[in-house]
Amino acid sequence: MTVLRGRVWWLLLLSLSLLSCTPAPAPNQLEQIRERGVLRVGTTLSPTTYYLDQEQPAGLEYALAQRFADELGVSLQMVPRYSLKHLFGLLDSGEVDFIAAGIDRTEQRSGKYRFTPPYQEIAQQVVFRQGSRTRPRELAELDAELVVVAGSSHAEWLQAQQQQLPELNWRASDEHDAIELLRLVMQGDIAYTIVDSNTLAVQRRFYPDLSVAFTVRDSIDVGWVLNQQLDASLYNPLIEFFGALRDSGELDQLVDQHFGHVNQFNYVDTTLFIQAVEQVLPRYRKLFQTHSGSLDWRLLAAISYQESLWNPRAVSPTGVRGMMMLTLPTAQQMGVRSRLNPEQSIRGGARYFEQMLQRIPARIAEPDRVWFALAAYNIGLGHLEDARILTQQQGADPDRWIDVRKRLPLLRQKKFYRQTKFGFARGDEPVRYVGNIRRYYDTLIWLDERGRIPADPLTIELPSGSGDEEQ
């Protein structure tokens, strides 16, 4: 019996010893990220994904990735690359945790990688320079070389089409990204390229002569990409993350902030605006800069263009006048003696818009705060508040521009405006007004950062009798 007990005790000690020598299981991908304290996200440098705005990170992919990193309680490291091939290499080697770069799911990619639920929908379009050739309607009608980004889904799709169109003249370039290819189209160095619709919408603000020949793929889902060879510990919280964003409406709001104002393209308006930037704005640029106060002078200039096309003598049938189209009571309140004097009008308009900003509820975050102030500048704070109340009554968020702008047009309908304090209003006008200014503002930022706004000496022709306000 003693011997038996000894053997049992010895076996127990041996078992405990073996257990203590057994290595702990390796942490899964999510645990590794939390231990590291850093979420590494591969992306591309592009206005549609990730870029630096006045040395601060910006872009839809950055905004989404930062929110996810905050949920995990870790810091965010964006790892930008110019080549999609390089990005996928980083993912394969484990140097990034996932890719957030506007990547669409293809058959080839789905076999190797895991995609999150989609957060955006795009189309892919063949683009050429307007006026350079007759518009083709299909691939078979292309009369010159088509160039796409190497490693892109565009290249993968063209390879599949090559079997049906063996004479198709195309190539994939490792040397250029999508935006550079669009610039080459504008310069006449290449005839055609294929580009995602959101990228084209942004670039047409600066290059209005970019024209769509035809759409090759429509309603394409865009998602984040993970290494399928790893465990699903990171994938599962990403599914929950995008589901919560979609349910709360925050996803729609983020997409709208980055792309909502560029969905509608007007060739004539964009062309005339760029011409005005080159020919008219230099005369007034210093005035906008001098009197912008707490505002970005380019926002002030965008407001003025929407109001008057930078015409100091502008007069509307309703009696508003000048560069900032002030009413007489507003001008008097702002100390403007002559609304037709460019400097007085710009100074008065800037101070009035600052007042609008200050009267928007403090809880409303940027950039929605600016969009609300612009709407108030156009339609008045009273009508804006009516629309916000309607928004709340209909179960939407009155502090989000994307929700309120859907209700502003309801102020035209009697069944809605009869319930409001300030009554009827042309509520569709501030929606167009804000959208136009957002486009002008973005274009001015892009042109200014590239030194494309001429810096001519200030030469302003004041209207005759530009002293006291004319009656």
Give the residue numbers annotated as catalytic, written as ranges.
307
DSSP symbol at 134: P
Amino acid at 348: G
Alpha carbon 96 to its chain's center? 24
Residue positions counted in the chain: 471
The closest alpha carbon to 374, from 328, 329, 438, 321, belongs to 438
Nearest of 400, 297, 401 to residue 353 by alpha carbon: 297
CB 349 within 8 Å of CB 300: yes
d(CA 327, CA 341): 14
Could you give the CA distance from residue 391 to residue 388 in angstroms, rounded to a whole number?
5
Report the 10 Å Cβ neighbour count for 239: 12
Question: Which residues have CB under 8 Å from 279's CB, separation 6+?
Answer: none
Closest CA to 248 of 260, 238, 240, 236: 240
Residue type, 190: I
Helix (H, G, I), strand (E, B) or coil at 379: helix
Residue closest to 420 by CA, chosen among 384, 395, 396: 384
Q: CA 259, CA 242: separation in Å to the nearest integer?
A: 18
Residue 367, preceding bond cis, omega within 30 degrees?
yes
Tell how strand 38-44 and strand 75-81 pair up: parallel
Cα–Cα–Cα angle for 382, 388, 394, rounded to 5 degrees = 140
